[in-house]
Structure 1
């Protein structure tokens, strides 16, 4: 059953049970089901299809705008340090959990053992997914594995359970799913492999979260990540997608209309025929939306094509665009437009549209043909779990456990380097000469594996750009200081005419005072100090009023619990610093 079919089935659910349109958001199925429901595989499938709405949709590609990965015309509350305690809402919502628990209390009424294993695994996967999201956002939360009667005051006023307890329960659910679900490769359905991928993610998150806060016992979670990752790497049908074309393969993985099942384990499906779309083209190409851009420090992070560091050269922040993007990791030119860039399905070479990006580095990942540029019309399937993440999880978990070998790197992270025709990461070379540029970003990385951990973080930020991992990575690494570093964009030495495509023709004119006369068609004109601001070093400064941002180490890694929830449950305590 895929997403398209699920939408139809959920509609059938409304008529079958006579529920109101907002039923799935407000009431559990326990209020509307019949005595003979949960009898067949179709019943179990019908019920569990509703859980797929928990998965992210369009936010998969713009969630990075909360962080230093994607800079928009308005800085996020997280970047500005402007979050407030909400009165209500704030994602403290438990509706899905009650539906999941009700299913798990009733699904064994079916006599279909195969269906019970499959859909029992789906439900446990989603309970693990639900609680993992709550843990990432709020830290310790109350664990419920049964439905709660509205009159059960003791259960409704339960205090939080410990992190370890909650994480172990999450892993317990995932282990059940891994053990009982059948092996099978499905792009749009949760499978045993999806559960392994989530276990890989959860174990790495919690293991590093605890390690960088000095919490004992973190090793067991990192080991759980290693084991789940290794199982996917060695005993699954998935591989890093590559056709042997390093100049296109990375881009094609994300601008394919249909998810590429070679690497993608679970995707969100979109379809023009069924009018199910998202807005990635509109988001990245229009001048009237967020104007997202890659920041200069991330551009600097991409290695040269021979594996050397771009930031090793003098004055690396003041190299003009056509030179700075030349001969770099091919993933850079497949993530932002560089000389020679063409839209999918077209042959015209295009310069970056500075009107559509606040940093000058326009984003092109996920972008497809111009016919899909209208808001809500993009139809690229969006990957939610892919092997590319899993191999990075594996390498990082082993590095943090101090068990990483060169063979481990060659069997995991270096497959990503191979796809881009980049030199493989050498454990010995990385650790013998840690990168000062990365060291200045991640101040608390130390020890004998410092160099390789920094390189894995480089690889993770580049490979997973625009896939909504950056905030969670910063939190688990306890690296909030990275969000306070200056935000800068493309370098221009001052007013003048500029060629951003390297073809000898002017693409951009920066001017002061009155706009030049005799405007040339196809040339972009921007007034310095009004349309574009340059700092004292000639770098675009998209938010000059926010260079004094702060990150409060005592509170900003977690979100606050809404006030009304603290009133309803006096045994809940507000997160530290949000009182």
Structure 2
């Protein structure tokens, strides 16, 4: 939208015909009434604190909120809930049916309203600047989201007047202006927001983290998206990602590591108290006493599972690729977890995993067979809607990954850098350390195939692997693929577990068959000779139900009919952006669609 800056959501909720049969200009342009009069309210630093507290509710509306899955990305085999991104690359998304909620500017108005009304505030200037920094932090977040989705967008630093036609109906501002403005907001926050304070609030370190995250995103996006013609400016963003992350690395944070390997990693996502965890830069505090909860039980076996390509990404504990081990591609489910990076078995359900009463859960081939368990807390008081675990929002591990990747992209990374970043994460997990020389001499051919833009830089490939493994299911993967110009990975048909033949299989690791995959209910020959005690307890799946199929008809990888019926196709550069809702183009003809739309 353009003014209306704050009217998009309401427009979407009124009769859709209003958008096409005409609309009353005075109604659409009317400035919303606010209960806060700036002349009476913005007078003290307490007023600023009270008002800025409202910004925290925006956290969960953006990618800054706690990520608990990788929808939509190549890390997911199937998602029954669907997504806009999936619809897009299947050719189903258009400017007419794209969500109008994505062009909602009300939060920006709230932020700018405070920033535009500071003239009467009295108090300590450092404290005033602190709260200005909080506001600018959230404005940076707002526009970071818009930049990722649309590229060029109108940029506003003021609350619009309903009579300001030039501003209301302006054209988009270029990516360079928007990106520089985002960086300036994060820079201001990093300089002025106080370092001291609880890690459930925005601090200097959270601000520096977002600055580093943004600069890595923009630097790599410009480097790999040569169609923008901005490659010459990529290095400045990458250098700032390095310096910002380096400053955080000297601030006393550390990787949570008690020597328990996968258990330590798992506790980051299932703990009811992260307040003393030095890996947390910013986290969401949930409490049963305060009735603050989350719904992370949804991650387990509800609508999606992890993909085979993600499962294959985890290294062996000796640091060698799983995909270089003999017979890796046809190993059964119960075998693939052996001698693997312990983070795998705390992200993907391993054989023997039990949620209740000690009864092992059975995988579902209809979802691909690799259920997500990361963030799933086994808690007898938990229900689907009420889990009281704390959730990481920014953790130190991400900062180490930013530092390593930015240095590798700039060609300055050393073994010492790797030891201070990537190898701290591998050490926690119990995986052999990364050696630059070995990685560059013997780059993983599977990763080279995934990222053809990288030539002979095995260390950068391994850093990307480590990022995907360490941050799996935390909501980073889709944006990572976009900034690396690796969208073509999203069009590959996803795969699940390997099935050697039709019949019954042990999936709990006790040697007894638990599930069976058959052609149809009347073709039971593959299980006819099993003991009655085993056969009667089998969970049966039939290919004739058409919820999945096997890549070699009666054997092979679990795959999904939707990828045949409506195959994915990633059109470059079009699908690196979403379309602006058509209604907004009608309201403001100066708006133009992103490239390709």
Q: TM-score, normalised by structure 2?
A: 0.86
Matched residues in 2 for 1:253 and 1:539: separation? 35
Matched residues in 1 for 2:50 and 2:559: separation? 48
- Structure-2 change in CA distance of 1:417 and 1:522 (3 Å): farther
> Does residue 496 of structure 1 match 2:503?
yes
Q: Give 5+ residue unaligned stretches, structure 2.
A: 1-29
**Can you list the C-alpha shifts for 1:461-519, whole angstroms capped at 9, x where unaligned?**
11111111111101101101111112111111122222223222222223343377957
User: For 1:511-526, what aligned pairs fall within 5 Å after superposition?
Assistant: 511-514=518-521, 523-526=538-541
> Does residue 263 of structure 1 match 2:273?
no
Paired residue for 1:8? none
Paired residue for 1:253? 268
- Structure-2 change in CA distance of 1:504 and 1:73 (3 Å): same
Paired residue for 2:96? 86
Matched residues in 1 for 2:446 and 2:289: separation? 48
- Residues 67, 393 of structure 2: 8 Å contact kept: no
Q: Which moved more, 1:142-151 or 1:490-499?
A: 490-499
Deviation, structure 1 residue 452:
1.2
**Can you list the C-alpha shifts for 1:17-48, whole angstroms capped at 9, x where unaligned?**
xxxxxxxxx97685632523122333112111
Q: Give the alignment partner of residue 53 of structure 2, picking from 49, 56, 60.
A: 49
- Residues 495, 528 of structure 1: 8 Å contact kept: no
Deviation, structure 1 residue 73:
2.6
- What RMSD, in angstroms, separates the aligned Cα atoms of the two structures? 2.4
Q: Give the alignment partner of residue 69 of structure 1, picking from 64, 75, 95.
A: 75
Paired residue for 1:7? none
Paired residue for 2:331? 319
- Residues 358, 542 of structure 1: 8 Å contact kept: no
Q: Give the alignment partner of residue 411 of structure 2, picking from 399, 402, 418.
A: 402
User: For 1:161-200, what aligned pairs fall within 5 Å after superposition?
Assistant: 161-200=173-212
Q: Give 5+ residue unaligned stretches, structure 1.
A: 1-25
**Can you list the C-alpha shifts for 1:269-294, whole angstroms capped at 9, x where unaligned?**
33333433332213414xxx41x111
Q: What is the number of residues matched between the two proteins?
A: 543
**Can you list the C-alpha shifts for 1:307-358, whole angstroms capped at 9, x where unaligned?**
0111113442211112221110110011112135344xx7836244317x60
> Does residue 221 of structure 1 match 2:248?
no
SS at match of 1:510: strand
Paired residue for 1:380? 389
- Structure-2 change in CA distance of 1:318 and 1:75 (3 Å): farther
Deviation, structure 1 residue 56:
2.3
**Can you list the C-alpha shifts for 1:425-481, whole angstroms capped at 9, x where unaligned?**
1111111111110111112112x5x21111111111111111111111011011011
Paired residue for 1:207? 219
**Can you list the C-alpha shifts for 1:63-107, whole angstroms capped at 9, x where unaligned?**
522111223235534235132213661411111111111111223
SS at match of 2:282: strand
Paired residue for 2:579? 560
- Residues 142, 158 of structure 1: 8 Å contact kept: yes
> Does residue 96 of structure 1 match 2:107?
yes
Paired residue for 2:157? 145
Matched residues in 2 for 1:192 and 1:522: separation? 57
Paired residue for 2:118? 107
Matched residues in 2 for 1:226 and 1:541: separation? 41
Paired residue for 2:463? 456
Deviation, structure 1 residue 112:
2.1
Deviation, structure 1 residue 54:
1.6
> Does residue 541 of structure 1 match 2:558?
yes
Matched residues in 2 for 1:185 and 1:308: separation? 42
- Residues 241, 249 of structure 1: 8 Å contact kept: yes
**Can you list the C-alpha shifts for 1:521-572, whole angstroms capped at 9, x where unaligned?**
7643322342652221834434223143210013100010111211222221
Q: TM-score, normalised by structure 1?
A: 0.88
SS at match of 2:540: strand
Q: Give the alignment partner of residue 273 of structure 1, picking from 272, 280, 289.
A: 289
- Residues 39, 120 of structure 2: 8 Å contact kept: no
Paired residue for 1:11? none
SS at match of 1:399: helix
- Structure-2 change in CA distance of 1:317 and 1:57 (3 Å): farther
Paired residue for 1:550? 569
Matched residues in 2 for 1:147 and 1:28: separation? 11
Deviation, structure 1 residue 265:
1.3
Matched residues in 1 for 2:54 and 2:466: separation? 35
Paired residue for 2:19? none
> Does residue 483 of structure 1 match 2:481?
no
- Residues 338, 352 of structure 1: 8 Å contact kept: no
- Structure-2 change in CA distance of 1:524 and 1:259 (3 Å): farther
- Structure-2 change in CA distance of 1:105 and 1:28 (3 Å): farther
Q: Which moved more, 1:176-185 or 1:136-145?
A: 176-185
Q: Give the alignment partner of residue 443 of structure 1, picking from 414, 435, 452.
A: 452
Matched residues in 2 for 1:504 and 1:109: separation? 74
> Does residue 232 of structure 1 match 2:236?
no
Paired residue for 2:438? 429
Deviation, structure 1 residue 171:
1.4
Deviation, structure 1 residue 419:
0.7
Deviation, structure 1 residue 369:
2.0
Matched residues in 2 for 1:40 and 1:107: separation? 9
Matched residues in 2 for 1:465 and 1:149: separation? 44
